[in-house]
Structure 1
Amino acid sequence: MKVGFIGAGSMGSLLVGAFLEAGAMRPENVTVATRTRSKAEALAQRFPGLRPASSNAEAAIGADLLFLCVKPSDFRSVLSDIAPVLLPGQIAISITSPVMLEQLEERLPCKVAKIVPSIVNATGSGASLVMWGTRLTPEDRAIVTELFSAISRPIEIREREVRAASDLSSCGPAFFAYLLGEFAEAAVRHAGMSPETASCMAAEMLLGTARLLTEHGFTTQQLQERVSVPGGITAAALETLRNATAGAFPAVFQVTHEKFREDAEKVREALEN
């Protein structure tokens, strides 16, 4: 299977590396086009056989799967570059949430999907958010799902859910890294613990918590009840934490949804004008 990537920024490079390291793709079947050629060349050095492309069209020609890993503002020019060379049997996969499937199907002659990855896919874990275009066959869906299963847990969502789902799966690592950092720093300030020890303990705690939730059948509420004994230290501290964070995540969702609407409107204007 031949695969093209347009864009080798943070997430594009992450996907290339994750797929190749998982053995889901072979380097000699991968072509990467990017405005900064050195990024594609760096991937070629890391994965011998991978081929940097001289243009977006070159990456698109003959690709069974074509990943569009570019910013919303770049979509107009990219779609103009690739639309003339794409064929109906090819599959274009956008990882950019504000670009709608309908917009892609209006401007490309091929099949399309939208799949939003997460930075944690680099570890072979986390979710990938899957949305299908109307032209894909069940066989197409199975191929794409199998591919993403090599680096993540593909979860099908409705396109109107993409912003909230992205907050959970894609933005979530940044949110919880911030909270974890604050948690560890508090231990340093109050107990004189070394930052390295505190960070290590906090990270191991988060890893174990995730495994309890994903592998051992705990819900978040059950886990709180299991750790927090009524009248105990954890219960008292948990109440303080609830009071301090009340309304924080609804506010986060409000901000991300407002920004998403702005980005989606900018995409619409760019594609239509």
Structure 2
Amino acid sequence: MNIGFIGTGNMGRILIDALLESEATHPSTITITNRTLSKALAIQADHPLITVEHTAEEVVNKSKIIFLCVKPLDIHPLLIKLKPQLTQNHCIVSITSPISVEQMEEVVDCQVARIIPSITNRALAGVSLTTFGESCNRYYRSYLQHLFSKISRPISIDQDITRVSSDIVSCGPAFFSFLLQRFIDAAVQETNISQDVATKLTSEMVIGMGKLLESEIFTLPTLQEKVCVKGGVTGEGIKVLEKELGDLFVHIFQKTHLKFDEDIEKVTHQFNF
């Protein structure tokens, strides 16, 4: 299956590298382009069998599945531009959350899907969020599920939980890496531990905790129960968390949804213009 990528920024490159490392596809099947062509050429330097084209139209002409790895407000103009080249044998896959498959189907006559990846997919782990348009046939659905099962656990989501699911899967790594960095900084500030040692210990702790959850030895609640011995040190720390975290995460979801609503309003104006 020939696969195209229009946009090779952070997430586009992550997907390409992950798909190749997992051997989900072969570099000779991939055609890419980018507004700044040097970014696409840098990927080709690492994977010489990948084809780099100068235009999005050329990518479509050489591909059956085309990933649109561009900003939300760039999707509609790109679909209008590509519409003459797209046929029923093509499948467009958007990786951005504010645009629904129904909106894309209103513009183009090809098959449509939306798959929201996570940076964790680069480690061939984590979740990818899938939504298929009514136009997307069984063959393409199966193939895309197979492709992403090589680098993630694909989970189908409905439109009404798109933002919160993306907050957890895609934004979550950034949110929790920020919290962990603050955790490390506080340890260095309050004790004699070095930044390097605190970072190493924290990183290994997170990896170990992930393996416990992956193996289903413990759940998140039972992890707390096992570590938090009554009257112990951990319990004192939990008391601080309970007191000071407050509605922190509620405010995070409120803020991300507010931005999401703003993006949807701008995108809707484009599609309804």
Q: TM-score range by the shorter chain?
A: over 0.9
Deviation string, structure 1 residues 32-64 (Cα, Å, up to 9, x no partner): 121100011111111011111111111112422
Match of 1:48 in 2: 48
Separation in 1, partners of 2:227, 2:123: 28
- How far is 1:213 from its partner? 1.4
Match of 1:131 in 2: 131
Q: Which runs of 5+ in 1 are unaligned?
A: none
Match of 1:16 in 2: 16
Q: Please list, as runs of the form range in 1=range in 2, the aligned pairs for 1:42-81 lying within 5 A after superposition.
A: 42-81=42-81
Separation in 2, partners of 1:106, 1:88: 14
Q: Please list, as runs of the form range in 1=range in 2, the aligned pairs for 1:91-170 lying within 5 A after superposition.
A: 91-170=91-170
Separation in 2, partners of 1:163, 1:257: 7
Question: Could you state the TM-score of these two structures normalised by the residue count of structure 2?
Answer: 0.97
Q: For the aligned residues, what is the CA RMSD?
A: 1.1
Asked if the contact 2:95–2:114 (Cα under 8 Å) also holds between the matched residues in 1, the reply is yes
- How far is 1:150 from its partner? 0.9
Match of 1:247 in 2: 247
Counterpart residue type for residue 211 of structure 1: K
Deviation string, structure 1 residues 218-253 (Cα, Å, up to 9, x no partner): 221111001001111101111111211121111100
Match of 2:203 in 1: 203
Separation in 1, partners of 2:138, 2:240: 50
* Aligned: 1:271 with 2:271: yes
Deviation string, structure 1 residues 102-160 (Cα, Å, up to 9, x no partner): 11001111111111001111111110011111122333211101100111111111121
SS of corresponding position for 2:128: strand
Percent of aligned positions with the same letter in both sequences?
40
SS of corresponding position for 2:131: strand
Match of 1:257 in 2: 257
Q: Which runs of 5+ in 2 are unaligned?
A: none
Deviation string, structure 1 residues 61-111 (Cα, Å, up to 9, x no partner): 242211010001211221122111111122111001001111100111111
Moved more, 213-222 or 25-34: 213-222
Counterpart residue type for residue 147 of structure 2: L
Asked if the contact 2:114–2:132 (Cα under 8 Å) also holds between the matched residues in 1, the reply is yes
Asked if the contact 2:111–2:137 (Cα under 8 Å) also holds between the matched residues in 1, the reply is no
Counterpart residue type for residue 178 of structure 1: F
Counterpart residue type for residue 187 of structure 1: A
Separation in 2, partners of 1:162, 1:184: 32
SS of corresponding position for 1:83: helix
Counterpart residue type for residue 69 of structure 1: C
Match of 1:188 in 2: 188
Deviation string, structure 1 residues 174-199 (Cα, Å, up to 9, x no partner): 01001110111111112221101101
Match of 1:232 in 2: 232
SS of corresponding position for 1:84: helix
Counterpart residue type for residue 86 of structure 2: L
Which contiguous aligned blocks of 4+ residues in structure 1 show a shift greater than 4 angstroms? Answer: none
Question: Could you state the TM-score of these two structures normalised by the residue count of structure 1?
Answer: 0.97
Separation in 1, partners of 2:210, 2:7: 31
